[in-house]
Amino acid sequence: MTEYNKHILKIVTDDILDENDELFLKEIEAAKADPRFANNKERDEKFRKALDEAFAVKKPRRKALVRAASVFLALILGLSVMTITVKGFREKLWEFLNNLGNHSYSSMLSSKNSNDNKLLEYEGMYIPKYIPEGYEVFKIVNEETYNTVKFRNLAGNIISYTEHTQNVEKKFNLDKEAYDSYETHTIKGKEIIITTKENVIYLTIKTNDAIIYVIFNDNNVDFLGFATHIEKK
Amino acid sequence: MKKILAFMLSLVMMSMCCIYASAESNTETFELMSDSEASPRYTHLGAVSAGIKEKALGFVLCESTYACMHENYTFVLTCTLQRTDGSAAGWQTYKTTTETFLELGTNGITETWFAPAGYAYRTFTTIVIKNSRTGKVVETATCDSPVIYK
């Protein structure tokens, strides 16, 4: 665009703006005379409030916060009191925390494990739901008065699980002396006696309706985990 | 506000009571099912059992088990049904069966025999552990079941 053209364009646009200014001023004067646009404090206030509400940043409600805090506080308080005073609750909590941390229990019956199908043949009232890694069922004996399932790993180590039922007059003699170690635990309300002798671990679990007797000749097995996950079918 | 707090606390207290009650009911005291012998001392064995159960039509079921996890041994298990009529002769062998095991863990025998009335019966378990190579007996243990009267 040449200098001349630019100059002509400026003259034309200035004329248009002048004309618009005049029109605008006329409109303002007309509006001032119109009673609809006269000053009205009440209406202005309403309009301002509506604007404030529309654009206000919503503040969190204090009441709701206090309620949530009190509920949370009461829960914490209740849980703490229960943890301190109730033995059963402590045990359940400990069990829960143990389960959270221990991923080796992935070989439980719920998983797709080759032991699952084999254990279906087992007719005992209780069943081990945690089978240590590498162990496979190799023998199941179902008798009227006792049931046995045996697991074996590639190294030839064996876990022998037997359930002596209460439907028979039975004397069950346990070796009660000359153990290398002897300890008792209460898990899920069941008394568990753990003894070791010459690198063999013996678990005796007493329930209402059975004596469960488990023997391990593998020290690396989590036998307490095994005992914890013996459950009623 | 105070009302809400009081309500919440009472709820927590109630739930505590419920959980406490259920926890208490789970921690039952276990009693041995049978009169176990006083402190048997085994060298290789973990446990020995003897059981007897009355069945229909005059039969009894006898059970003998043992548990051992030591290798290189042969286990000879005998399950005997003994009976007595209360005379001075005492317990007499009425029926018996023997089985040999090589497998580790718990093994057992169960047998059903006819047991005429007029006697007291019990199962008598005998386990003999032999060295598989030499045949030498390394341990022998017995266990007798509770008595049933017919």
Return the residue in A174, A176, A204 with the most chain B beta carbons within 10 A, the one to mutate for interface testing.
Answer: A174
Same domain, A181 and A149: yes
Query: How many domains is chain A built from?
Result: 3
Query: How many domains is chain B built from?
Result: 1
Torsion of CA A215, A141, B65, B58, to 10 degrees: 150
Any domain includes A105: no
Q: Is the pLDDT of residue A65 over 70?
A: yes
Angle between helices B2-26 and A62-85 (to 10 degrees): 30
A51 touches chain B (CB under 8 A): no
**Token pair for B127:** 């386990």
| Span B30-89, pLDDT tens digits | 233 344 445 567 888 888 999 999 998 899 999 999 999 988 999 999 999 999 998 888
What CATH number should be reported for the domain holding residue A160?
3.30.200
Same domain, A87 and A38: no
Any domain includes A204: yes
| Span B126-144, pLDDT tens digits | 999 999 999 999 999 999 9
- % pLDDT > 90, chain A: 9
Any domain includes A107: no
Give the pLDDT mean for A5-31: 78
Q: Is the pLDDT of residue A80 over 50?
A: yes
Supply the ipTM of this predicted assembly.
0.71
Same domain, A170 and A223: yes
Interface contact flag, A208 B12, Cβ < 8 Å: no
Interface contact flag, A174 B19, Cβ < 8 Å: no
Name the β-bridge partners of B66. B48, B107
Choice among A18-22, A196-200, A211-215 with the minimum mean pLDDT: A18-22
Counting beta carbons within 10 angstroms of the beta carbon of residue B68, is it exposed (0 to 12), middle (13 to 18) or buried (19 or more)?
buried
Q: Domain limits at B110?
A: 45-149
List of chain B residues whose C-beta atoms are within 8 Å of the C-beta of residue A87: 23, 27
Least Cα separation, residue A111 to chain B (angstroms)? 26
Report CA Rg, chain A.
41
List of chain A residues whose C-beta atoms are within 8 Å of the C-beta of residue B32: 172, 206, 211
Same domain, A80 and A127: no
Q: Is the pLDDT of residue A36 over 60?
A: yes
What CATH number should be reported for the domain holding residue B138?
2.60.40.10
Q: Domain limits at A160?
A: 112-232
Hey, is B89 helix, strand or coil? coil
Any domain includes A104: no
Interface contact flag, A146 B23, Cβ < 8 Å: no
Same domain, A67 and A164: no
